[in-house]
Structure formats: structure tokens, C-alpha cells
Amino acid sequence: MSNESSNFSELFEQSCNVNMKIQRGDKVTGKVIQIGKDTIFVDLGGRQDGCISRKDFVDAEGNLTVKEGDEITAFVTGSDSDGIKLERSLGGRTVHEVDSAVADAFANKMPIEGKVTAVRKKEEKVVGYAVQIAKSEGFCPASQIDGPGLRRAPEEYLNQTYRFLITEYSEDGFKLVVSRRAVLEDEAAEARQRLLANLEEGMVLDGTVTSIQPYGCFVDLGGVEGMVHVSELSWNRGVKVEEIVKVGAKVRVKVLSYEPPESGRQRPRIALSIKQVTGEPWMEFLADPAFAVGTKHTGKVMRLADFGAFIQLVPGVEGLAHISQLGADHRVEHPSEVLKEGQEVEVTILEINEERRRVSLCIGEPKVRGEKAAELTAAQEQVASVQANLNETLEGEVESQKPFGLFVKLPNGQTGLLHISQLNLGGDGMLKDRIMYRKYPLHSKINVIVKEVAGNRISLTLPETLASENESAPAQAVDEKAASFGTLGDLFGGLKL
């Protein structure tokens, strides 16, 4: 084995010096071609491959920071059976090896590991840190111990091992000046290049808020900053930047557009959005049966206009209560006569225009006349008919299926919720919804009982379920979760207000 190792070492020297002219300590750049369990393989060109420990590219959270196809920069330290041996810095060697490598690290501008052992002060002011590198002690100025603007309490650096760049070397290595900041800046530059090479519109990334301006905020994506315009902070209107984010906050953003650097402009332009990472409130609003036409809700008056009041139903969705629908019993010249911004009011949804994304509201009872009044009376009588028919068995039609139950259309046109807890489906919790979908397909007929009406919500059950509950009462308590209500459905859907 020793002969094989010696021969391989000779071949390495030949390949380095003849084919590629690579020598120990050289700084090289190559493309990642394979990532193994412990080793990353790098194409160095000239039919030569290098290998480097996977640990060199794992962050503090254990995440791998490179992928196949990325370019990396490393230093040649020798060879083994896998090929040319690379390292991002000198570390983890014997004392003799490290001592002999300190001069090489300085000559080749190669990072090297060191441990912070003491804080150096002058007149009670911290001027730097003692850094132990093998048997040599180096000095790191206070301004070079961390990245720009990332200064921590001095004691937090003690006993920590970092990668340093030797900036001054004298007295045979007994006098060293080192910088961690230089290493961090090089790493940030590499990360920046990788990010820009892979950046695409539509990507969702994690970042840190670096500054706040009246028009938006800037977010660091890892060496590159993008801007979130105030209109992309929240689905709510009229928000202030400081109400949504703070400097130093971790945020998740979506890339809206990316313009790479051009001549005369060194920095890229990256437009980001915070609000678009979350679901769009309008689409969720439309899909939620709790917000059907005719349902009542508590809303917040956001702003007043001459023609009415804009009222927030949920964050990101506002409706307009026209000045004629403000619930006053007299003519109102301006909404401020009966409402004020920030006030909470009870409203009824009169109309939803999906195409124009508009919601019409009223406060109190809708003010309608003639035919519209008759339609409203008929709709209100529907509620009374359901209340009069509590505990009566009705034949309904499965209108929609949800993981939590079935929405059933009743003979009078209303819709109630048959919660999944009211169905005897068998199986475990993971399979119940699938069994429900097969057993009760869309538009199938089903016998139900109106179990409870609370405001505009109707709760249904099955005849056999109700019989079982009556047999076990009062020994068995009613499950409050099973008492979830459906919506009143399209109560005022036919009104043309």
C-alpha cells in the first residue's frame, strides 16, 4: 500500500506540474459535478477532478450551501485515491502540518482556522482579539472580527473557532495579524455570484430586512439586496412600512422581477413581494362559503368617501357600503354623520362581483322597495321556515364536499353543513374524508335533519346519528366541535340592489 501511495503521490505531482501546473497551496476554481455522502467532487478542467469535504459547505443549520453545477473556489492541499485533495481553508491538521502551512496560507492568501482565546483592550476599550493558530498567536483587530454592521458583545467571540485570512506575517510566524472579515466578505461574494446565477422570477427566498424607507424596505437575500415596494408589503391598503416589518426581521419574499447588472449600473435590480408569498385573500374569500351573499359579519370601517364607507371584512378584502345603505333612518349627506374610521359595525353582504372584485354591503337591513322588497321578504321567510322545521327530516342534495364535511342544499334553496363528525364512516382519521367522498358523491340525494340554526348558520345531522345521540344522552356530552355550522347560502343571491 505504501508503494501505491508513493506512486499516486508522484502521479499527482506530475499531473499538477505538467498537465495543469497545479501545486500545493494553489487557489483553484472548479464546477461541482457530484455530491456524495461525505465528499463533493469538483471538475478542475484538463481531465482532472478534485475532492473536498462536504462539511466545508454546510451552514450552521446543517443545510448544504452548494449544488451540482455551482462553481466553487478552494485550495490544493495534496492528493488521495479519489483525486486532487481540496480544502476551503487549513484546519484539522496536526501541529507540525499547520505550522508548516501558516507561511503557505499567507503566501497564497489562503484562509486558516483559528480559535479566539482572549479580548485585547487598551484603556478599557476593546482593540482586538488574540487568536490561536496552532503554536502561533495572531491578533485580529476589533474591526476585522466580523462582517460590516455585525458586531456582537466581545465575550461572544471567546472560545469560538473561525476561519481567518493572514494579512501580516513576520518573525517566522510568531507575529501574525489576521482578519475574519476578509473571509466573510469573500464568502459573501461567492454566495452572491451563486445567487445571481440562479435567480429567477417567481422564486421564493428567505431574507433579512436591512433598511426601511417611506416607499418600502430593502431585504438582504444573501449578499444581494432587493426592494419590497410598500404596495407589496400587505394585502391591506394604506399600510405604513414600519407597521409590517422591522429592521433585522426575517422575511420570506417572492421575486417579482430581476434585472442583472449592466454597464453604468453595477448593482442588480430585484423587485420583491412579501404579500404574494401568502395566499391571495380575495380568492380565499370567494372560496369560503361563510362569506356567501346574505351572510352577516362584523367589519371595520377603513375609510370614508362622499359616496359611502369602505369596510374591511377580512385583511385584504374590503366592501363598500353605499351612503344609502348605512342604516340611518334619515337622509345622510356624508358617511361621517353616522360612522367614523376604525369603528366596528355589523354588515350584510348584498352582492359580490367576482370580475370587478367588488363587494356591496349594507349596515342594518337593506333599503329596498317594490319588487326588491318582496324578494327580500321571501328570503327572510326562508330562514323562518327552517327554524319552524327543526328536527324535521328533509331530502337534500350534496352541493359540495370539503375535508370537514358536506354542504347540503335543502328543498327551500338554503345550504347547511353536515359535519364529518355526524357521519358514521368508520376507518381512521386519515381515511374518513376519502370514504365520505365515495359514499356521498356530488349531487347525490341524502336525508338530513336540521339540528340547529344559529343566526345565518345551519347545522345538519343524519337521522341515524340523531337517534344514536338521543339514546346515549344525557350520559354522553355533546362535542362542541361537531356543532360547526354551515352558511345560510345564497340568502340574498336573487336581489338586485
- 298 and 230, same structural domain? no
Question: Average pLDDT, stretch 252-275?
Answer: 83
Q: How far apart are CA 103 and CA 413, in angstroms?
A: 87
- 270, part of any domain: no
pLDDT tens digits, one per residue of 219-231: 988 878 899 998 8
Q: Single out the residue in 52, 87, 122 at which a domain terminates.
A: 87
pLDDT tens digits, one per residue of 360-411: 999 887 765 544 445 545 544 554 454 546 777 888 898 888 878 888 888 8
- 96, part of any domain: no
pLDDT of 315 > 90? The answer is no
Cell of 243: 407597521
- 115, part of any domain: yes
- 387 and 436, same structural domain? yes
> Residue 289 in contact with residue 487, Cβ under 8 Å?
yes
- 475 and 406, same structural domain? yes
- 478 and 395, same structural domain? yes
- 477 and 384, same structural domain? yes
- 122 and 44, same structural domain? no
Q: Single out the residue in 185, 216, 250 at which a domain terminates.
A: 185
What is the residue range of 221's domain? 201-262
- 268, part of any domain: no
- 496, part of any domain: no
Question: Average pLDDT, stretch 304-327?
Answer: 88
pLDDT higher at 426 or 91: 426
Q: How far apart are CA 202 and CA 261, in angstroms?
A: 19
Q: What is the largest CA-CA distance in the chain?
A: 106
Return the CATH number at 153. Answer: 2.40.50.140
- The amino acid present at 389, given as its one-letter code, is N
pTM beyond cutoff 0.85: no
pLDDT value at residue 234? 83
b/e per residue, 147-173, with b = 16+ CB within 10 A?
Answer: eeeeeeebeebeeeebbbbbbebeeeb
- 478, part of any domain: yes
- 154, part of any domain: yes
Number of Cβ within a 10 Å radius of residue 192? 15
Number of domain units in the chain: 5
> Residue 462 in contact with residue 416, Cβ under 8 Å?
no
pLDDT tens digits, one per residue of 128-166: 999 988 777 889 999 999 987 677 899 999 999 999 999
pLDDT value at residue 320? 92
